[in-house]
Chain A
Amino acid sequence: MAPAIVQNISSRLHRMSQSAADKENYTQREDEKTKLAEWEAEKRTLEPNEVAQSPDEKPVGHSSKYLRREDFDLIKTLGTGTFARVWLAKIANRKEKDNNKVFALKILRKVDVIRLKQVEHVRNERNVLASVAGHPFITTMVASFQDSDTLYMLLDYCPGGEVFSYLRRARRFNEATSQFYAAEIVLILEFLHDRQGVAYRDLKPENILIDADGHLKLVDFGFAKKVDNSKNIFGAVLNFDADTKTGETYTLCGTPEYLAPEVIRNTGHGTAVDWWAFGILIYEFLVGQPPFWDQNPMKIYEQIVEGKVRYPSAMSQDARDIIGGLCTVDVSKRLGNVKGGSATVKAHPWFKNIDWDAVYHRRMQGPIVPHLKSADDTRNFDEYDAEPVHRDPYTKELQSKYDQSFADF
């Protein structure tokens, strides 16, 4: 904990040197911190129509002008993804009663974001997370903020860890477990596609977390993107990312084993890519590895474009049928993307035992409920190397070129 103490002291020193204007901000900050703690106590998820409200009216998802890095103690690294580091965080200088209030703080360095060409993606991530905040199966972004060289997203902490860890440990899930998790994911995709017009584009077990009650939370909206179905000129099924006039663009992105054929072939893509990936995910749940794999990624892509899924002999007919329907190369025939959309997936026989209303309202008991010693227990997360000391500086030059793009973060 030594570093945390040092941070506290330095943040106190920092505060003492603040001007009058900053003192006013100080009260605002304290105010925000109190609200954070209050929200954490209940972590109330919202009904679909509440989620749809604008972020200004919701209790969560706003861009904070007052919060700072110094308002949090970073306890431990929970994960390092492709672009970011995520920390278990507590409110700094907290009152005793707020000791068990925990968050996950996703930290992105602006230099890295620029170097990895993720500027547009990070903006999408923040905006999508803000507009979906409150959904029962999506990690809630409580607030976002930034300082001169870093972007922060404050998320609710999902203490169960990644579904990935459980899956690798168990080797594979049985059919009931797979159905339970798949059902929650169907509701996520239904919500993202039909209510939000968002394609998620990076579905995989690494990005699916388990919360304290054993339910799923989707994290990492780094590739999520609004694809306006109603008025765009390219259509939703095959979407080049909405309106070209506003300078919107198209990107190959995702995870090799989960890429849809239309992404590989660069013929334009939309929400249908998530249904493809969902088929791969069910397969990986049931079998323990995805259907298309090779040491050489080009060979994976060749298999994907070919689209022939091979099933283990013991797999049930219904499971084969739903995977086959989802992993259909022709998007106009892909389950989930045909007339009826997500409803056709929900109506599939593989889900015949699922009560969808009970799923949404979290009335079903999950197969894995994490047992924690305390709210800040991180036993379900791996150990990660410390952050490298050397960091490329966010130069004045970069600043003048890019700060505009981060302005509303």
Chain B
Amino acid sequence: MSLPSEYLNERNALEREILKHRPSDVLQFSYNHFSKRLESQRQEFILGQRHSSESGTGLSNPFGGTSAPSNKKVMNSTIREEEEHDDFASPTATSFPPNARDNSNNMASNSSGGGGFGNFGNFGFSPSSGSSSNPPPAASSGAMEHPQSFPNNYNMNRRTSVSAESLAPTSADDSNWKAPQYPKTADQVNRLRDAVAHNFLFSHLDDDQTAQVLGALQERKLPTKDMRVITQGEEGDYFYVVEQGQFDIYVSKSGKVEPGADGMGNKVATNGPGTSFGELALMYNAPRAATVVSTEPSVLWQLDRVTFRRILMDSAFQRRRMYESFLEEVPLFSSLSNYERSKIADALETTKYPAQTPIIREGDVGDKFYILESGEAEVTKRGEAKPLKHYGKGDYFGELALLEDKPRFASVTSTTEVKVATLGKDGFQRLLGPVESIMRRDDPRKNEKK
């Protein structure tokens, strides 16, 4: 009675193609269409054969069913080691971490704890710089020099997205948010600084940001032993640094604390003063990867994610605002749109100079433009006894170097410690194209003629 659905499907596909291409020779077109279909089906089939014979699971479907997030179905076959004739060696082919081979066979169970990551790894506790009980983490010197830091046991499952709470930048007109500041002794501040120094989330901060972040760490007292600070599997909002006392760290294989006496799993480490834990919570609220329990009365410093990210965001935002307002004052840039100016603000690089350091030397060929972000500087010229000019915050110089390769007309020397934001000619061109053509849009001489 009715035509087979497979046929209807093929026919629909052909009709769509015909509608799209409107061929003059319909028969030849249809022939070509079906021959392409046949060819690609064969290819799919052959590829499927190869893989299913490797895995030994002769699936009827050559492509479907890799791994279901339910983890009910065990991955079939794709996580084999490198085939000999592969075009690309895996980035990790040369080096296997000790357990990699085992892991590759039970990837599905490996990820069942949640998040798609190994359990303990999710936790990221870090040893204190002085302690010898834990090996120091591999320094962040980059994977290039440390091929072994490339794990081969890549998790082949679907990856879930993460997202943290939305933050609205504190805009200049309603800037009522201020990072909380909890008083600390100079000693405490120094200890905290050391404790977070090796952590990349902190090592990238500038002095201002660091001061704000350290100030925002809040004391938390744990009056007895056996108090749980964080619990594996629960969502986390805080990062902690140990000030005083000792903490045991437990990891349960199931990814969360189970009922019963051994429910927290195995003890994997003990952390003392100067160590920190729970840093992933500073990014988003992922489930905790371990349980941490006090073993004596102790003191911690804690910092929550929203405060931390706010500090980072607001300071980046304020710096942009500052740069943009400086740039607005530069006549050379007056023809730029806000968008273009903000692109420049983006590309500015900050450099610090101590007092009495030459920033620009008279006679040198310049290729950079400077804005004085903080501090003071003076302009001098050979043969002139007195400085020609003094520069303060927001003043700019050297902008003509973006236009022409002339020697610098005078020298600029810092009189106090200064911070300058700079942009080179090449950087400018990369962002906006040739400087001259941009400037020509609004050449003052052109306007005068009108």
Q: How far is the CA of A314 from the CA of B90 in the complex (A)?
A: 10
Q: Which of A268, A299, A310, A314 contacts B144 (CB 8 A)?
A: A310
Please, which residues of chain B bring their CB within 8 A of the CB of A332?
343, 346-347, 427, 430-431
Question: Taking the nearest CB of chain B, how far is it from the CB of A289, in angstroms?
Answer: 4
* B345 near A235: Cβ-Cβ < 8 Å: yes
* A214 near B140: Cβ-Cβ < 8 Å: no
Q: Is B358 an interface residue (CB 8 A)?
A: no
Given A161-B63, A229-B339, does the pair A240, B169 have CB atoms closer than 8 Å?
yes
**Which of chain B's residues 68-93 have a Cβ closer than 8 Å to chain A?**
68-70, 72-73, 78, 80, 83, 86-91, 93
Residue of chain B at shortest CB distance from A368: B44
Tally chain A residues at the interface, Cβ within 8 Å. 105
Q: Is B237 an interface residue (CB 8 A)?
A: no
Q: How far is the CA of A42 from the CA of B432 in the complex (A)?
A: 43
User: Most chain-B CB neighbours within 10 Å: which of A169, A253, A291, A312?
Assistant: A169
* A255 near B162: Cβ-Cβ < 8 Å: yes
Q: Is B132 an interface residue (CB 8 A)?
A: no
Question: Taking the nearest CB of chain B, how far is it from the CB of A5, in angstroms?
Answer: 20
Q: Is A15 an interface residue (CB 8 A)?
A: no
* B317 near A268: Cβ-Cβ < 8 Å: yes
Q: How far is the CA of A264 from the CA of B317 in the complex (A)?
A: 15
* B309 near A235: Cβ-Cβ < 8 Å: no
Q: Which of A65-73, A113-121, A143-151 contacts B (4 or more CB under 8 A)?
A: A113-121
Q: Is B41 an interface residue (CB 8 A)?
A: yes
Q: Is B151 an interface residue (CB 8 A)?
A: yes
Q: Which of A43, A222, A338 contacts B430 (CB 8 A)?
A: A338
Q: Which of A118, A266, A289, A298 contacts B90 (CB 8 A)?
A: A289
* B159 near A255: Cβ-Cβ < 8 Å: yes
* A204 near B159: Cβ-Cβ < 8 Å: yes
Q: Which of A268, A293, A313, A383 contacts B316 (CB 8 A)?
A: A268
* B9 near A250: Cβ-Cβ < 8 Å: no
Interface of A is mostly: loop
* A161 near B64: Cβ-Cβ < 8 Å: yes
Q: How far is the CA of A289 from the CA of B68 in the complex (A)?
A: 18
Please, which residues of chain A bring their CB within 8 A of the CB of B421?
none
Given A165-B64, A332-B347, A380-B64, does the pair A256, B342 have CB atoms closer than 8 Å?
no
Please, which residues of chain A bring their CB within 8 A of the CB of B118?
295-296
Question: Taking the nearest CB of chain A, how far is it from the CB of B145, in angstroms?
Answer: 9
Residue of chain B at shortest CB distance from A159: B9
Q: How far is the CA of A298 from the CA of B138 in the complex (A)?
A: 13
Q: Which of B144, B159, B204 contacts A206 (CB 8 A)?
A: B159
Q: Is B286 an interface residue (CB 8 A)?
A: yes
Question: Taking the nearest CB of chain B, how far is it from the CB of A113, in angstroms?
Answer: 12
Q: Which of A233, A294, A305 contacts B200 (CB 8 A)?
A: A305
Q: Is B400 an interface residue (CB 8 A)?
A: no
**Which of chain A's residues 298-319 have a Cβ closer than 8 Å to chain B?**
298-299, 301-303, 305-306, 308, 310-315
Q: List 17 A-B contacts (CB under 8 A).
A: A118-B163, A172-B88, A235-B346, A236-B343, A254-B162, A268-B313, A287-B90, A288-B88, A296-B123, A299-B121, A303-B142, A310-B147, A314-B87, A339-B433, A368-B44, A368-B63, A377-B9
Q: Chain A residues in contact with chain B, CB under 8 A?
A: 42-43, 80-82, 100, 117-118, 120-121, 161, 164-166, 168-172, 174, 202, 204, 206, 212-214, 222-223, 229-238, 240, 244-245, 247-257, 264-268, 286-289, 291, 293-299, 301-303, 305-306, 308, 310-315, 331-333, 338-339, 362, 365, 367-375, 377, 379-385
Known: A370-B63, A379-B61, A383-B68. 14 other contacts (CB 8 A): A100-B9, A171-B80, A231-B338, A234-B342, A265-B312, A268-B169, A293-B151, A295-B122, A299-B121, A306-B140, A311-B91, A374-B6, A380-B61, A381-B64
